[in-house]
Amino acid sequence: MAVFGDLADLPFVEILNVIDRRSGRLLIFGLPDPGSFELDLVDGTLRGLRVDGEDVEDPLCARDGLIGLMRAPRGVFEFHRALPGELRGALDVPLPLLPLMILAAATGPRHGLHSCPGGDSFD
């Protein structure tokens, strides 16, 4: 099963609902801000995330990196099914919790946030 479209028609949170517990790779690119995302999803969890080809290994940094996707008014997405063994990463973040984590970070106070390696800021 392949799912594809534009964030203008199907927001990021809705994409997660459509994918549900399927395993595969979600690619998101063509965003208003430069950058591309690859999410490896296994049985309803975020296993791996790459932003501009760089692995994000810390769950809090992954959350911070995905904030921009919640706000993106447009961008192309493609989901392609894959076997769990073909996907990589060790984040293990349940998809139902991901929008809540992103929303809490996006609306919460900015001071004292988790610091990602290299001081990266994705939003």
What Å distances lie between residue 38 and 25, 91, 108, 111, 113, CA to CA? 7, 13, 25, 28, 24
Per-residue pLDDT tens over the stretch 74-112: 999 999 999 999 999 999 999 888 888 887 877 766 544
Given a contact cutoff of 8 angstroms between Cβ atoms, the answer to whether 55 and 65 are in contact is: no
119 in the Ramachandran plot: left (φ > 0), alpha (ψ -120 to 50) or beta?
Answer: left
Residue 89 is which amino acid? G
Percent of the chain past pLDDT 70, that is, above it, reads: 86
- Residue 113 — very low, low, confident or very high, per pLDDT cuts 50/70/90? low
Q: Is the pLDDT of residue 121 over 80?
A: no
**DSSP string for residues in 106-123:** HHS-STTPPPPGGG----
Mean of pLDDT values over 118-122: 49
Mean of pLDDT values over 31-54: 92
Name the 3-class secondary structure at 109: coil
